[in-house]
Structure 1
Amino acid sequence: MYAILDIETTGGKFNEEGITEIAIYKFDGHKVVDQFSSLINPERSIQPFVVNLTGINNEMLRNAPKFYEVAKRIIEITNDCILVAHNAKFDNRILTTEFDRLGYEFEKDTLCTVELAKKLLPDLPSYSLGKLVRSLGIPLSDRHRAQGDAKATVSLFKLLLSKDSTKEIVKKLVRKDPKRQLEPKLLDIIEHAPAETGVYYMHREDGSIIYIGKSKNIKKRLTQHFTSDSRKSKKIQLEVVEVTFELTGNDLIAQLKECEEIKRNKPNYNRALRGTVFRYQLSSFVDQNGYINLSIEKANSKKQAITTFTNYQQAKSSLYRITEEHQLCQKLNGLYKTESSCFLFGLKDCYGACIELEPVEEYNDRVQSFLEKYSYENNHMLIIDKGRDIDERSVVLIENGVYKGYGFYNLNFQINNIDILRSIITPMQNNRDAQHIIQNYLRKNKVLKIVNLPEEAAI
């Protein structure tokens, strides 16, 4: 659990500042579960430059509660939380100093969104809160007021969590959160898991990740893990202390995220998926008569694949369907061995390419229409689908046929600026597995829309 906060002060000498306003959002990694905000009477004058910056003046604070009157509420909302702030060192120092004046020891682990942003979003022109969130398309109202700044920091932190592919942030949370030792642990984990689509991470007591999985229903999948009698499941049940998760809104993002993070984190119990997930590919060649043939081959990284498959039967079934949908020839596609016409020619679903009856150009035009539909080689496009909330969308970026990564954006915010698109995308590896996942998903599922980008707009 995280307590994301922002504090406004009177200004003045080091460790003599007083708090004029505080806002805290309790955040479980996915949504805000509690919040508190208040003006504070600092019992000292506000520096003139601070009045100009924040708009908070001495008169506004005359009847505001003093710090000791809200201290209990602050302790309650930050209990068992890691403090998160933009320039956390400053906010934590101010808060600790106020509690010191009351004789109360207030000690919290902290995370600084400035430091996290510099690590996860390198090379941005500025990391001040205002300029940073503007460059990321995050709305910010009431700048230099605690509630507006804290709310923007929540959105920023949510973005940073999604970009933290090595999961350092949640590892720290698992190590520090005392409630992780609750028993019975497995029932407790299942109870708090969401019945939604996403990626889940199983942790040992030291926070290290032992297993990464994805599911359209995380709660149901964890129940299967924890009730299975398989050897691997039994080992996981003994070692797991906590499960963290990230919602993805749709299965495409979940598959891409799972694949990338298994390869990056190499959990003990994901050995089977550390390597490639595809075994066969669909390729094409031109025969001696000039017809484009489609063929199923064992996966070969040195040869261009139209699309890929996890097993031969899946590949063969897909090729039968492709052949029928596009009225292609079973003989040319290696599905019907014969010296004469293919089976579909007898049904009048093949126009005779198998016996050189159909003109080469007409046949190849239909093959090309299939190739353009299923292969995104050299394409610049955005795959838009459902997001994690009703007012959010996900986006997968393909540039020059290369998978660049994914991101999320609010429906109220139009992606019409390539620099903002670059900022919201979490960079991912363009390996054959990612290509397989995207091609396979587009072949089997409908997405909300695909937006083709002009070549000059490619990142």
Structure 2
Amino acid sequence: MKQRLAVIDFETTGITPGVGCRATEIGIVLLEGGQIVDRYQSLMNAGVRVPPMIEQLTGISNAMLRSAPPVAQVMREAADFVGSAPLVAHNASFDSKFWDYELAQLGRTRPQAFACTLLLSRRLLPQAPDHKLGTLTRWAGLPATGRAHRALADAEMAANLLLHLGTTLRQQHGRGAVDHGLLCKLQKVPAAKVPQYLRELPA
């Protein structure tokens, strides 16, 4: 994957963005030429409380958020950092909701699509014990990047997984060029039909 891609991860106070559920941290990794070339990470204060269960999971406390920069500032920086680069996330249906919601608070919209390493791993790594990010990282022998459920560590894990999926496509399916467009198409193909789909694609 030679093109520049932005791999993102949010930590949040819940699962559906809204008045009482907001992002608390974002991590972004830029990939280019098959390697990480830049990173962005910040806590963000959206004026919502972190439930005890979420604090225990992420380690992000209400005290930490009180001194964090305002959400609008962080999201402007994050959107400018990503620019027009195609987006990637593990379980992108989750992260894309928060990305879109927080951008909408700034009057901005997302022009680019998300590729999802969760959907892609289900199709390309069906033999994995499960398709959680931590499980896949350990199973595939990918680098440990830090504490799980912190945004930058998870974004780096997803970036390493994406590179592994690219290697799988090249080595097991003979794909010379792997780009974001192919990944977005592939994640919509039923898992059982993926080998045939890849065989029938032009080389």
- TM-score range normalised by the length of the shorter chain: 0.7 to 0.9
Question: Partner amino acid for 2:5?
Answer: Y
Question: Partner amino acid for 1:112?
Answer: C
Pair 1:149 & 2:157 matched: no
TM-superposition CA deviations, 1:409-440 (whole Å, max 9, x none): xxxxxxxxxxxxxxxxxxxxxxxxxxxxxxxx
Q: Which residue of 1 aligns with 2:134?
A: 130
Question: In structure 1, what is the Cα distance between the partners aligned to 2:84 and 2:176?
Answer: 20
Q: Which residue of 2 aligns with 1:7?
A: 10
Question: Partner amino acid for 1:15?
Answer: P
Pair 1:172 & 2:175 matched: no
Structure 1 residues 266 and 57: alpha-carbon distance in aligned structure 2, compared to 1, 3 A threshold: closer
Aligned 8 A contact 2:10 2:151 in 1: yes
Q: Which residue of 1 aligns with 2:107?
A: 103
Structure 1 residues 92 and 131: alpha-carbon distance in aligned structure 2, compared to 1, 3 A threshold: same
Higher strand share: 1
Residue 49 of structure 2 is aligned with which of 41, 45, 50? 45
Aligned 8 A contact 1:10 1:42 in 2: no
Deviation above 3 Å: which 4+ runs of structure 1? 165-169, 263-267
Higher helix share: 2
Question: Partner amino acid for 1:149?
Answer: D
Question: In structure 2, what is the Cα distance between the partners aligned to 1:72 and 1:45?
Answer: 22
TM-superposition CA deviations, 1:120-174 (whole Å, max 9, x none): 111212101111111111133211111111111111111111112336841617x
Higher RCO by CA contacts (8 Å cutoff, separation 6 or greater): 2
TM-superposition CA deviations, 1:207-249 (whole Å, max 9, x none): xxxxxxxxxxxxxxxxxxxxxxxxxxxxxxxxxxxxxxxxxxx
Q: Which runs of 5+ in 1 are unaligned?
A: 176-262, 268-459
What's the secondary structure of 1:161's corresponding residue?
helix
- The size of the alignment, in residue pairs, is 179
Question: Partner amino acid for 1:170?
Answer: D
Pair 1:34 & 2:43 matched: no
What's the secondary structure of 2:27's corresponding residue?
strand
Report the TM-score when normalising by structure 1. 0.37
Structure 1 residues 163 and 98: alpha-carbon distance in aligned structure 2, compared to 1, 3 A threshold: same
What's the secondary structure of 2:8's corresponding residue?
strand
Structure 1 residues 43 and 107: alpha-carbon distance in aligned structure 2, compared to 1, 3 A threshold: farther
Aligned 8 A contact 1:11 1:18 in 2: yes
Question: Partner amino acid for 1:4?
Answer: V
Aligned 8 A contact 1:24 1:36 in 2: yes
What's the secondary structure of 2:6's corresponding residue?
strand
State the structure with more CA Rg.
1
Question: In structure 2, what is the Cα distance between the partners aligned to 1:116 and 1:171?
Answer: 12
CA RMSD of aligned residues (A): 2.3
Aligned 8 A contact 2:29 2:152 in 1: no
Question: In structure 1, what is the Cα distance between the partners aligned to 2:82 and 2:96?
Answer: 12
Question: In structure 2, what is the Cα distance between the partners aligned to 1:15 and 1:105?
Answer: 16
Pair 1:20 & 2:24 matched: yes
Structure 1 residues 168 and 67: alpha-carbon distance in aligned structure 2, compared to 1, 3 A threshold: farther
TM-superposition CA deviations, 1:350-377 (whole Å, max 9, x none): xxxxxxxxxxxxxxxxxxxxxxxxxxxx
Question: In structure 2, what is the Cα distance between the partners aligned to 1:168 and 1:87?
Answer: 24
Question: Partner amino acid for 1:3?
Answer: A
